[in-house]
Protein backbone atom coordinates (compact mmCIF):
# COMPACT_ATOMS: atom_id res chain seq x y z
CA UNK A 1 0.00 0.00 0.00
CA UNK A 2 2.92 2.35 0.68
CA UNK A 3 4.03 2.02 -2.96
CA UNK A 4 0.58 3.10 -4.13
CA UNK A 5 0.59 6.19 -1.92
CA UNK A 6 4.10 7.11 -3.08
CA UNK A 7 3.14 6.65 -6.72
CA UNK A 8 0.05 8.83 -6.31
CA UNK A 9 2.04 11.53 -4.50
CA UNK A 10 3.39 12.91 -7.80
CA UNK A 11 1.22 15.17 -9.98
CA UNK A 12 2.75 13.89 -13.23
CA UNK A 13 1.99 10.27 -12.34
CA UNK A 14 -1.59 11.20 -11.45
CA UNK A 15 -1.87 12.90 -14.85
CA UNK A 16 -0.55 9.76 -16.57
CA UNK A 17 -3.21 7.72 -14.76
CA UNK A 18 -5.84 10.28 -15.82
CA UNK A 19 -4.82 9.79 -19.44
CA UNK A 20 -4.82 5.99 -19.17
CA UNK A 21 -8.24 6.01 -17.50
CA UNK A 22 -9.60 7.96 -20.48
CA UNK A 23 -7.90 5.77 -23.10
CA UNK A 24 -6.26 2.56 -21.97
CA UNK A 25 -3.53 0.67 -23.80
CA UNK A 26 -1.25 3.53 -24.86
CA UNK A 27 2.38 3.30 -25.87
CA UNK A 28 5.09 5.50 -24.36
CA UNK A 29 5.01 7.70 -27.47
CA UNK A 30 1.24 8.19 -27.19
CA UNK A 31 1.45 9.01 -23.49
CA UNK A 32 4.24 11.55 -24.09
CA UNK A 33 2.21 13.15 -26.88
CA UNK A 34 -0.94 13.43 -24.77
CA UNK A 35 0.95 14.93 -21.83
CA UNK A 36 2.44 17.57 -24.12
CA UNK A 37 -0.70 18.39 -26.10
CA UNK A 38 -3.36 18.23 -23.38
CA UNK A 39 -1.37 19.24 -20.30
CA UNK A 40 1.58 21.26 -21.60
CA UNK A 41 4.08 18.94 -19.90
CA UNK A 42 7.31 18.80 -21.87
CA UNK A 43 9.10 15.93 -20.18
CA UNK A 44 11.58 13.62 -21.86
CA UNK A 45 10.57 10.11 -22.86
CA UNK A 46 13.01 8.83 -20.26
CA UNK A 47 11.33 10.86 -17.49
CA UNK A 48 7.87 9.56 -18.50
CA UNK A 49 9.28 6.04 -18.68
CA UNK A 50 10.57 6.38 -15.12
CA UNK A 51 7.16 7.61 -13.94
CA UNK A 52 5.53 4.63 -15.67
CA UNK A 53 8.01 2.31 -13.95
CA UNK A 54 6.99 3.67 -10.52
CA UNK A 55 3.31 3.23 -11.41
CA UNK A 56 3.96 -0.31 -12.62
CA UNK A 57 5.89 -1.18 -9.44
CA UNK A 58 2.91 0.01 -7.40
CA UNK A 59 0.56 -2.15 -9.48
CA UNK A 60 -1.32 0.86 -10.85
CA UNK A 61 -0.15 0.21 -14.41
CA UNK A 62 0.22 -3.14 -16.13
CA UNK A 63 2.02 -3.56 -19.43
CA UNK A 64 1.77 -5.86 -22.40
CA UNK A 65 4.37 -6.29 -25.10
CA UNK A 66 3.22 -6.80 -28.66
CA UNK A 67 6.11 -7.02 -31.06
CA UNK A 68 8.33 -4.00 -30.50
CA UNK A 69 5.60 -2.00 -28.77
CA UNK A 70 4.78 -1.90 -25.08
CA UNK A 71 1.22 -0.97 -24.13
CA UNK A 72 0.29 0.50 -20.75
CA UNK A 73 -3.01 -0.17 -18.98
CA UNK A 74 -4.50 1.43 -15.87
CA UNK A 75 -5.18 -1.04 -13.04
CA UNK A 76 -7.63 0.44 -10.49
CA UNK A 77 -7.45 -2.53 -8.07
CA UNK A 78 -4.79 -1.06 -5.73
CA UNK A 79 -6.87 2.09 -5.32
CA UNK A 80 -9.99 0.01 -4.64
CA UNK A 81 -8.08 -1.87 -1.93
CA UNK A 82 -7.18 1.41 -0.26
CA UNK A 83 -10.71 2.77 -0.33
CA UNK A 84 -12.13 -0.56 0.77
CA UNK A 85 -9.89 -0.57 3.81
CA UNK A 86 -11.79 2.27 5.46
CA UNK A 87 -15.19 2.23 3.78
CA UNK A 88 -15.92 -1.43 4.54
CA UNK A 89 -15.58 -1.05 8.31
CA UNK A 90 -18.49 -0.31 10.56
CA UNK A 91 -18.10 2.79 12.67
CA UNK A 92 -18.41 2.53 16.40
CA UNK A 93 -20.38 5.40 17.82
CA UNK A 94 -19.46 6.59 21.29
CATH of the domain at 80: 1.10.10.10
Tell me the pTM.
0.86
Look at residue 71 and tell me if it is in a domain: yes
Look at residue 94 and tell me if it is in a domain: no
Task: Indicate the number of domains in the chain.
Answer: 1
Q: Could you list the pLDDT tens digit for every one of the 94 residues in the chain?
A: 899 999 999 999 999 999 999 999 999 999 999 999 999 998 999 999 999 999 999 999 999 999 999 999 999 999 998 888 777 666 677 6
Look at residue 92 and tell me if it is in a domain: no
Q: Report the b/e string of 19-44 with b at 16+ CB within 10 A.
A: bbeeeeebebeebbebbeeeeebeee
- Domain residue limits at 17: 2-87
Amino acid sequence: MVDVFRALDDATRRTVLDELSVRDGQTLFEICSMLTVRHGLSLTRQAISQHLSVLESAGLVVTERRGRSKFHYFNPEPIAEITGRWTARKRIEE
